[in-house]
């Protein structure tokens, strides 16, 4: 059901407070013509309630010639900010940016973060933002899991469907998302609630099986039959199955980039308010479907770029694929059992 503007502004005020916004801070709201105007207005009103300095920076939309569809994750790389140094400097001067346009996977975002500016991405529909309003408990849950992921030397994922995937870890950092940006240089995404890292280069091996009900993003498609991916030396080498497998093969082939097949970030969902079923209740143009990425106990793996953590794979093709009913082990410690995340605090 639609949220009213007053309640939505209160939600935004809570997120900004968690992000340490007060009268000493400057908040920039980054938008384009496709940004949700309710989100832009609520962000502005909330920042003003907290007596912060606030401004809106609007950039023209950007569409790369090879991009397909309107999903904001269907093309990675250049954005409307690319080459616009004046706009970038304005954003770097802010303490916090509310990104309603989508800078993720761009080099400009990484440059802005290095200045200490914080960023919150907010592109889901307001009703989704409200349902997954972040809390301190969300942060505590994710940070407790991060302690284990940071120390792990390997991740092993299995499932009754046939997944048997192994990835050595340690070359890249662990990354957390809990919905607010409370430290200098932090990027986060409202809504969220998960964590991930990247396999060591050219090392992930095994089989990933997408079972019925698993999700292909950015297609926003529930899998209706098994799809099997063979992984060798960190790259997908074969894709087996029926229609969904053929669709995935053709989509990735379209980019004509062998780096599109690299295994990118791997991790698991920890957000109890995110729902596996939510995607089926929304139009495909409604945001990014963060429910699918964050629902509790999923194993989320991705393909394509890893430049955001210093890797060399800059490819426009990026898939996020959450699997249900998996068991995830970090070294010899089980963190997800048959699709249910385990309590890690104090282990």
Q: Judge contact between 155 and 169, C-beta under 8 A.
A: yes
Q: Could you tell me the CATH number of the domain that includes residue 74?
A: 3.40.50.2300
The pairing of strands 340-341 and 26-31 is: unpaired
347 belongs to a structural domain: no
- 114, 131, 148: which is the final residue of a domain? 131
Task: Examine the domain organization and report whether 123 and 147 are in the same domain.
Answer: no
- Are 105 and 77 contained in the same domain? yes
In a domain, 233, yes or no: yes
Is the domain of 114 the same as that of 247?
Answer: no
For residue 237, the SS3 value is: strand
CB contact at 8 A, 171 and 101: no
Q: Count up the domains in the chain and report the number.
A: 2
Query: Which residue, chain included where needed, has tokens 């990675």?
Result: 76
Domain boundary residue, one of 109, 131, 153: 131
Q: Are residues 211 and 275 in the same domain?
A: yes
Query: pTM for the complete prediction?
Result: 0.95
Say whether both 117 and 158 belong to one domain.
no
Q: In what order do the strands lie in the sheet with 194-197?
A: 175-177, 194-197, 263-269, 299-303, 319-323
Same domain, 18 and 88: yes
- Is residue 346 assigned to a domain? no
137 CB contacts (<8 Å, ≥6 apart)? none
Rounded CA gap, 327 and 45, in Å?
A: 44
Residues 178, 284: one domain? yes
Domain C-terminal end among 72, 96, 131 = 131
* pLDDT the model gives residue 345: 63
- State whether 153 and 275 are in the same domain: yes
pLDDT at 64: 75
Output the pLDDT for position 347. 47
Helix H or strand E encompassing 110:
helix 107-114
Print pLDDT tens along the chain (347 aa): 789 999 999 999 999 999 999 999 999 999 999 999 999 999 999 999 999 999 999 999 887 778 777 777 777 778 889 999 999 999 999 999 999 999 988 889 999 999 999 999 999 999 999 999 999 999 999 999 999 999 999 999 999 999 999 999 999 999 999 999 999 999 999 999 999 999 999 999 999 999 999 999 999 999 999 999 999 999 999 999 999 999 999 999 999 999 999 999 999 999 999 999 999 999 888 889 999 999 999 999 999 988 888 888 888 899 999 999 999 999 999 999 999 999 886 54
Q: Which residues contact 3 (CB under 8 A, 6 or more apart)?
A: 11, 126, 127, 130
Domain extent, residue 59, equals 5-131
Burial class (CB within 10 angstroms; exposed 0-12, middle 13-18, buried 19+) of 43? buried
Number of helices and strands (H, E) in the chain? 8, 20
Q: What is d(CA 197, CA 328) in angstroms, rounded to the nearest whole number?
A: 13
Partners of 28 in the β-ladder: 55, 97
């Amino acid at each position: 059901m639609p949220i009213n503007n007053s309640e939505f502004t209160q939600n935004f005020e809570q997120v900004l407070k968690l992000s340490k916004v007060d009268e000493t801070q400057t908040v920039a709201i980054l938008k384009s013509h496709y940004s949700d105007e309710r989100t832009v207005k609520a962000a502005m009103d909330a920042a003003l309630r907290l007596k912060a300095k606030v401004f809106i920076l609007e950039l023209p939309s950007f569409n790369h010639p090879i991009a397909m569809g309107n999903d904001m994750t269907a093309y990675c790389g250049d954005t409307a900010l690319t080459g616009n140094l004046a706009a970038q400097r304005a954003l770097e001067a802010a303490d916090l940016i509310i990104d309603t346009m989508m800078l993720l996977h761009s080099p400009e975002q990484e440059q802005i973060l290095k200045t200490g500016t914080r960023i919150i991405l907010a592109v889901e529909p307001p009703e989704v933002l409200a349902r997954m309003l972040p809390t301190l408990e969300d942060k505590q849950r994710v940070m407790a899991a991060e302690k284990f992921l940071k120390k792990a030397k390997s991740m092993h994922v299995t499932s009754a469907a046939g997944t048997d995937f192994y990835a050595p870890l340690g070359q890249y950092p662990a990354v957390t998302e809990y919905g607010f940006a409370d430290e200098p240089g932090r990027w986060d995404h409202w809504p969220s609630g998960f964590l991930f890292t990247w396999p060591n280069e050219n090392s992930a091996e095994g089989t990933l099986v997408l079972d019925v009900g698993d999700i292909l993003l950015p297609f926003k498609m529930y899998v209706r039959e098994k799809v099997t991916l063979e992984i060798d030396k960190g790259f997908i080498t074969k894709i087996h199955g029926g229609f969904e497998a053929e669709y995935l093969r053709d989509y990735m082939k379209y980019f004509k980039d062998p780096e599109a097949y690299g295994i990118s970030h791997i991790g698991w969902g920890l957000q109890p308010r995110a729902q596996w079923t939510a995607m089926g209740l929304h139009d495909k143009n409604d945001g990014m479907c963060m429910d699918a990425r964050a629902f509790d106990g999923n194993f989320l793996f991705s393909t394509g770029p890893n430049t955001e953590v210093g890797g060399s794979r800059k490819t426009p093709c990026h898939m996020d694929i959450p699997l249900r009913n998996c068991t995830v082990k970090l070294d010899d410690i089980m963190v997800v059992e048959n699709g249910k995340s385990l309590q890690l605090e104090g282990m």
